Structure 1
């Protein structure tokens, strides 16, 4: 764990996080200039001490600060400007990628996973979590890709007709016996969202949420955005506590059944991946050209955006 006294690392961190007026972008050259070293040596020294690049750390900590501001009642525009974004749209996309939901819904917890325990602490300080472990990259990628790809498919579905949404493309298809038939695009999209809602209700001790028999795509997007934040927070909490072996006793089952939490997450990710590909298959059958949802390309885009602030074409 990094010790943060008034030492060289502390000076490097100060250079990363210094503000020169709200909304002003600070480049790697700006940061390095504050401590009188070349950008190459600045990046190497900070990365060696914190296991995170200067640009990635600055973006993450400022995003944590923005999440805290939103929790405290700031507008999305105010948070975007303070975080150095030129537009609310760009900030909203970055926030959604980081937290799994749009900034219109305040984050459950304003800290994001960090490889070094360094986080934003109000009002303008840093906090170092001495026991934080770096988030497991595989679990983080699987869960985040699932949430992002589901959201992308729901957004794509807003472009198709209701006839395409409700047409039977895969007659009598059953993904899980407990869920019944899923033979239309609408069926599968509904179960993509509903699965997380149902499991989260069991984990948090709530009643299973009710929903319309044939919800609209706009309703599914709202429900996905609502459940994604809580789902991501719950999974990250499991990882942070090393609680993958904890057991859930689901009293809604008859008789009550016990589930290991790691198996629950694996179950959701597995069948979500299957359903996402079923949606793609049906969209292609309807004449739509849609990408494969490859996690390799998804991660490449995320890393490019994290380091440059620009979307990868």
Structure 2
């Protein structure tokens, strides 16, 4: 009989064997999956469209890129990825990403994912993310809105960095506030501050990390805070989507008294008020006479720039 594609559960077992930290060789992967190296490689290649050694090397490089963006040293990332030398790791990383690992920063806009024939990618802390195929679904549209919001916020913060302190903090929208309980948003500083703070506060409620520390509110401070919260926010959205948990309820202990929120409504809340604040910030920047180095905020042209093709 011809060999058939592995069933989903078996494919999951094969993928687990590929990613196990102890399985640095094909023989070790195959042994963990109770198969010969030949049959293990054949099954994985047929089921995922990629040889196991190649997949492991790619996924570990993706993990290394993710680690480097979070402050890991090149040496630590190299040995965690299974390389015997920093030089070998640096060559492989440069071939894959087109840049030296020593140049990677937290502000790199590109994804840590590499091109893959199967949509299987590293997902922190050490698991896999499998991209969906076919026509765009509601989840994919939501992901696009979330990623566009994060990128557009970063661009607006960078544009505000060039303003003087007086321009940045001067009240220009008397009495304006997006939400009654959020306080005044009369200046560009206040609008951008709430844009960043909203995600910090909601994440603190969702992951129990405690109320965020108030920063100075300067544009440079907000850029650093946004760089820290953006990947956490995106990882949260992806995790909830993966688990199909948008109907789960969150008891927000940071409220007084504590309140209960549906996770889906939390994301909808952020995706309602973040675009409003971004547009207000864009108007304020234009009113201050700032030349528009930032994108106009359209998800269509944002996606075109990001993919290099039609959106």
Shorter-normalised TM range: 0.5 to 0.7
Q: CA 1:69/1:166 → structure 2, altered by over 3 Å: closer, same or farther?
A: closer
CA contact (8 A) 2:50 2:118 kept: no
SS in 1 for 2:121: strand
Could you tell me how far 1:169 is from its partner in structure 2?
1.7
Cα distance in 2, alignment partners of residues 204 and 197 from structure 1: 11
SS in 1 for 2:74: coil
CA contact (8 A) 1:189 1:279 kept: yes
Q: 1:236 aligns with which of 235, 238, 249?
A: 238
Which entry has the higher C-alpha Rg, 1 or 2?
Answer: 2
Q: CA 1:93/1:195 → structure 2, altered by over 3 Å: closer, same or farther?
A: closer
Deviation string for 1:253-292 (max 9, x for gaps)? Answer: 2332111001101111211110000000011111124342
Cα distance in 2, alignment partners of residues 251 and 189 from structure 1: 25
| TM-score, L = length of structure 2 | 0.66
SS in 2 for 1:230: helix
Equivalent residue for 1:6? 42
Equivalent residue for 2:300? 296
Residue pairs, 1:12-91, within 5 angstroms: 13-14=50-51, 62-67=61-66, 73-74=73-74, 78=90, 80-81=93-94, 83-86=96-99
Cα distance in 1, alignment partners of residues 281 and 161 from structure 2: 13
Residue pairs, 1:122-271, within 5 angstroms: 132=130, 134=132, 136-212=139-215, 214-271=216-273
Query: Any unmatched runs of 5+ in structure 1?
Result: 19-57, 100-110, 122-126, 308-313
CA contact (8 A) 2:65 2:101 kept: no
- Between stretches 224-233 and 70-79, larger displacement belongs to 70-79
Cα distance in 2, alignment partners of residues 128 and 240 from structure 1: 11
Kindly tell me the number of residue pairs found equivalent between the two proteins.
Answer: 248
CA contact (8 A) 1:154 1:217 kept: yes
Greater relative CO (CA pairs within 8 A, separation 6+): 1
Could you tell me how far 1:145 is from its partner in structure 2?
0.6
Q: 2:282 aligns with which of 280, 283, 293?
A: 280
- Between stretches 245-254 and 230-239, larger displacement belongs to 245-254
CA contact (8 A) 1:85 1:91 kept: no
Equivalent residue for 1:53? none
CA contact (8 A) 1:168 1:184 kept: yes
SS in 2 for 1:13: coil
Cα distance in 1, alignment partners of residues 105 and 220 from structure 2: 18
Cα distance in 1, alignment partners of residues 122 and 250 from structure 2: 33
Query: Any unmatched runs of 5+ in structure 2?
Result: 12-40, 78-88
Q: CA 1:174/1:274 → structure 2, altered by over 3 Å: closer, same or farther?
A: same
| TM-score, L = length of structure 1 | 0.66
Could you tell me how far 1:208 is from its partner in structure 2?
1.1
Cα distance in 2, alignment partners of residues 133 and 139 from structure 1: 14
CA contact (8 A) 1:64 1:112 kept: no
CA contact (8 A) 2:240 2:246 kept: yes
Equivalent residue for 1:54? none
